[in-house]
Amino acid sequence: MTAPETEKKKKPRRWRRRVGIGLGVTLVAGGATWWAIHNVPGFGPALADGVRAVLGPSVVAWIEDTAYGIADRVNVWRHGDEAPTTFWETPASSSAALPAAPAPEVVPAKADVADASAPETPSFPPPRFEPPFTNVAATGDGTWLVMQEGSRAGEPPVMVKGVVHPDPKRGFAAVAVVAMDLTRVAIRLVAGTTEPVSQNVPLSERPGLVPATEHLDLIAAFNGGFKALHGQYGMMIGGKTFLPPRDIACTVGLYRDGAIRIGTWPTLAPTEAQMAAYRQAPACLVEGGELNTKLTEYNKNWGATVSGETVIRRSAIGIDAAGRTLFYALGEAVTAQSLARAMKAAGARDAAQLDVNYAYPRFLLFEHPPVAERRVASSLVPHVDYRTHDYVKDPSPRDFFYVTRRSQ
């Protein structure tokens, strides 16, 4: 065989070897990046912001949609026949008294504790609710469990939690819901040190912390909404407008008398003068007890970087028909539509989606009983990044809500 013929045969082999090496490096790099996003604090947001600055938002949106789509198909294949995912075990006890031990306790249904002859009035905890899909429901779905945080001996709980599986095709799609008694807790909104970006409020007036005067009554803190880049949704605190309201946006209105209302801006705008603060979000998930009709369509109404149908971690806030119970939800592997189903099932008449993606949704609980130097003790669900001094010593760059017990 002549030298030229030998060289001709070697070239295809070299090409195939180079392609193989390239694919291997790509797979390893992609896997390492995915691992870092989910395990290295701050890596995901920093990576997304860096790529967005160089290549633009549309490229990041395509990458995120594609990556989460692949992850969802893998999860469906891996977990399709497994039992539904849950965040905690539901105990067999059904006593209404606060538990003496740290284990969670089942809250009885309203019929178990109410006098049937008494007139029906709004009450807390809310009643048990029916899981939307029995084929993916786990044991304990729809059952409220007592949360120790903020509670006092001999008194009813101020917060309870429950789980719901709102996606009939994904048993691993689980939503943790916290219900809060607004007659005994107060909700406040705080601007982040950098988000939402605003030309109206100087950075010197944005500490990104829970005020020290509130620390002893502090129970929990949870995430706010999108960055300003992702929708320019309005926010106002104490008369300072960070971003003006948008008519299309779902608005969480916090009123000076402690009331909370959620609805599309034109429905709340006439009461703006009575608001202590408001935070806007994409179109309401639930309004007037009905799911948003556009939730069945593929669109980006519920995420500037991902579509409403992307299966990711999402969060939401809702209010019941009586205006007494506030709901916060954190869903793993959910679409905007399935998150809306979860909020409606739990009892929310009106609900807004808050932040999305792996790094941002979080509901953190502070030490109970409270001590002088407050620290974060735990997260509502596992695999959420936090530090013990978040919100109390370490400022948050993103806006957030915090929960305090009302003074008696």
* Predicted confidence (pLDDT) per residue in 165-221, tens digit: 999 999 989 999 999 999 999 999 999 999 999 999 998 899 999 999 999 999 999
Question: Would you place residue 392 in the very low, low, confident or very high pLDDT band (cuts 50, 70, 90)?
Answer: very high
Question: Would you place residue 83 in the very low, low, confident or very high pLDDT band (cuts 50, 70, 90)?
Answer: confident
Instruction: State the Cα–Cα distance between residues 348 and 328, nearest whole angstrom.
Output: 10
Cross-strand pairs, 326: 180, 319
Note the pTM of the prediction, 2 decimals: 0.81
Instruction: State the Cα–Cα distance between residues 2 and 356, nearest whole angstrom.
Output: 63
pLDDT at 4: 61
Instruction: State the Cα–Cα distance between residues 252 and 245, nearest whole angstrom.
Output: 11
Instruction: State the Cα–Cα distance between residues 344 and 86, nearest whole angstrom.
Output: 19
Instruction: State the Cα–Cα distance between residues 335 and 173, nearest whole angstrom.
Output: 9
**Token pair in block for residue 222:** 């949870």
- pLDDT tens digits along 285-312: 999 999 999 987 666 677 655 656 788 9
Residue 29 has pLDDT above 50, yes or no: no
CA distances from 282 to 106, 233, 303, 308, 385 (A): 34, 8, 8, 10, 25
Distance of CA 364 to the CA centre of its chain: 11
- pLDDT tens digits along 338-354: 999 999 999 999 999 99
- pLDDT tens digits along 100-137: 334 456 665 544 434 444 444 458 999 999 999 999 99
Question: Would you place residue 51 in the very low, low, confident or very high pLDDT band (cuts 50, 70, 90)?
Answer: very low
Which comes out higher in pLDDT, residue 290 or 369?
290
pLDDT at 2: 61
SS3 string of the chain?
CCHHHHHHHHHHHHHHHHHHHHHHHHHHHHHHHHHHHHHCCCHHHHHHHHHHHHHCHHHHHHHHHHHHHHHHHHHHHHHCCCCCCCCCCCCCCCCCCCCCCCCCCECCCHHHHCCCCCCCCCCCCCCCCCCCCCCCCCCCCCCCEECCCCCCCCCCCCEEEEEECCCCCCCCCEEEEEEEECCCEEEEEECCCCCCCCCCCCHHHCCCCCCHHHHHHEEEEEECCCCCCCCCCCEEECCEEEECCCCCCEEEEEECCCCEEEEEHHHHHHHHHHEEEEEEECCCCEECCEECHHHHCCCCCCCCCCCCCCCEEEEEEEECCCCCEEEEEEEEEECHHHHHHHHHHHCCCEEEEEEECCCCCCEEEECCCCCCCCCEEEECCCCCCCCCCECCCECCCCCEEEEEECCC
Cross-strand pairs, 275: 255
Question: Would you place residue 155 in the very low, low, confident or very high pLDDT band (cuts 50, 70, 90)?
Answer: confident
Residue 235 has pLDDT above 70, yes or no: yes
Beta-strand relationship, 290-291 and 350-356: unpaired
- pLDDT tens digits along 58-81: 555 556 556 655 665 565 555 566
pLDDT at 114: 40
Look at residues 221, 217, 88 and name the one whose alpha carbon lies nearest to residue 150. 217
Q: What are phi and psi of 361, to 5 degrees?
A: -65, 130
Q: What percent of the chain has pLDDT over 90?
A: 60
pLDDT at 177: 98
Q: Alpha-carbon dihedral of residues 388, 392, 397, 401, nearest 10 degrees?
A: 100
Q: What are phi and psi of 350, to 5 degrees?
A: -135, 140
Q: What is the residue type of 66?
A: T
Residue 225 has pLDDT above 70, yes or no: yes
Contact, 260 vs 181, CB < 8 A? Answer: no
Contact, 98 vs 147, CB < 8 A? Answer: no
pLDDT at 72: 54
Beta-strand relationship, 240-243 and 235-237: antiparallel
Residue 95 has pLDDT above 90, yes or no: no
Residue 355 has pLDDT above 70, yes or no: yes
Q: What percent of the chain has pLDDT over 70?
A: 70
Contacts of 111 (CB under 8 A, 6+ apart): 127
**How many degrees, rounded to 5, is the angle at CA 94 between CA 88 and CA 96?**
105
